[in-house]
Structures are given as C-alpha cells and as structure tokens.
Copies of this chain bind each other. A is one copy, B any other.
Amino acid sequence: MTHALLMSSSRKDALGYLEHASDQLRTVLDGTSRRVLFIPYAAVSFSYDAYETLAAPPFEAVDAQLTSIHHHNDPVAAVREADVIAVGGGNSFALLSRLYGAGLVDEIRRRMTEAGTRYIGWSAGTNVATPTIRTTNDMPIVEPPSFSALGLVPFQINPHFIPGKPQGHNGESREERLAEFTVINPGEEVLALVEGSALHVTDGHGEILGERKALVFTGGAPVRDIRPGQRFELGELSGPVG
C-alpha cells in the first residue's frame, strides 16, 4: 500500500529550500529508518553532488540522512535496499528519461506498492509519481521512451499551480492548459497543487497538507476544491467528499 508525500515545490514564498516542508517531511518519515535515498536525476544545469548538498540540510533538520543514488554502483540494488526514496525537482523529461535509462521505473513502482518503501517527491519528483508526465509545466528538452511514469496515484498532478496569467504576454493561463488536458483526455482527473502544498497518500487515501486548498480539474465538470485536512479516497478524487 503506497505511502507517499507528493509536494508541489521545493520553495514557498521567500523561504529556503524545502524550509516550508519540515512538518510535511516528518509526517512521511515517522516510523522509518530516516535514511533517505535521493534521486537527483531531474538536475540538468547543476551536478548531482551540488544537488545532494542543496537537498540534504532540510532532511537533517528533521533528523533524516540523505544520500544520493549516484554514489551507488548499482542503482536498482540501491532502490531495493532503501526504505525511503526522495525524488527531487528539476526537469521532468530529463528525470523520467534517466529513470528509464537506469531501469528504475518498474523497480520503484514495485517497491512502493509491494514492499512499503515510502516515496517523497517534489515538483518533477511529484510529476513522475503520477500515471504520466502529461501535466508537467516543464519544457520537453529531451524525449523519454514513454510519458508513462510511476503511477503511485491514479490521477495526474499539476505542481506549481498558479491562477491567472502574466500581463503583456499571450501564452495560456494554467487553468486554460489544464482545461485543454481534460478536453483531450476525457474522464481523466488533475489535482492542482499550489506552491507549498502537498498530497499525503496513505492506505488508499489522500489528504492535502499546507495552508491552501487544492483544485481538481476534470472534463465536463466545474473545478472543485479540496481543503487541507480533508481526507478523500484516491479513486474518488472528483466524487463527493466523504
């Protein structure tokens, strides 16, 4: 049974890296070894060493020790031995390409669903936890073998959700992009998480962590809110609130 913390972003407002997330990290780390295997594959313009140095302190702040998978000779074995995996943000297309390249997509999915390994993701690390990366905000700078991803939850997530559009530019708003997704993919659902928010998944249920409501986009229905603290069945994201 999947136990996961899927965060929208590494940063909230002017806070430091994952500084807003201490309570969220404690929620998923309680009851584990607090030894976290870090997957830095979403980093493109900085090194895996630099990414590990950036990501370790907020884990130390909650008494957890983070070690990057690039120090292991056999990444599949490293995943098999981990009881907590953290997948950081960056570019979702680079991340998914490298997960396939290292043979980790099936292995992570299997460990999450069969062995109880816990999953922590933020930004691109949250995108790859959903069925596909079709609701990423990232530029498709590299072509992965498939858009199919880990599928730890049965719906899409849009991280870094922000309403409206910038002035003076004719690009689409995020709402327009997600509405297009629901038109071309009828019957599918997207959970939109503002920066600083997260989805906590346990026992087939979800709960929004953070201060602000999440939004659910689905075809042919008005956009729906989910309030922080409101527990819902993963399979009934756009259904009535229990």
> Do B177 and A170 touch across chains, with their CB atoms under 8 A apart?
no
Segment with Cβ contacts to B, from A32-40, A71-79, A180-188: A180-188
Among the listed B11, B133, B143, which residue makes an inter-chain contact with A132, where contact means beta carbons less than 8 Å apart? Answer: B143
- A176: which B residues are within 8 A, CB to CB? 45
A45 to B135, CA, bound (A): 16
Whether A162 is near chain B, meaning CB under 8 Å from some CB there, is: yes
In the bound complex, residues from chain B placing their C-beta under 8 Å from that of A139 are: 134-137, 177-178, 180-181
Which residues of B lie under 8 Å from residue A135 when comparing CB positions?
139, 141
Q: Which of A35-59 contact B (CB under 8 A)?
A: 44-45
Residue A160 contacts which of B137, B171, B180 (CB distance < 8 angstroms)? B171
| With contact pairs A169-B160, A170-B9 given, residues A141 and B44 touching in the complex (Cβ less than 8 Å) | no
Contacts of A143 in B (CB 8 A): 132, 134, 146-147
CB nearest neighbor in B for A159: B171
Residues of B within 8 A of A142 (CB): 134, 184-185
A126 CB contacts on chain B under 8 angstroms? none
| Chain A residues near B (Cβ < 8 Å) | 9-11, 13, 44-45, 91, 94, 132-143, 146-147, 160, 162, 166, 168-171, 176-181, 183-185, 195
The 3 closest A-B pairs by CB, nearest first: A44-B180, A143-B147, A141-B181
8 contacting pairs across A/B (C-beta < 8 A): A44-B180, A44-B183, A44-B184, A134-B139, A137-B171, A141-B177, A160-B169, A162-B169
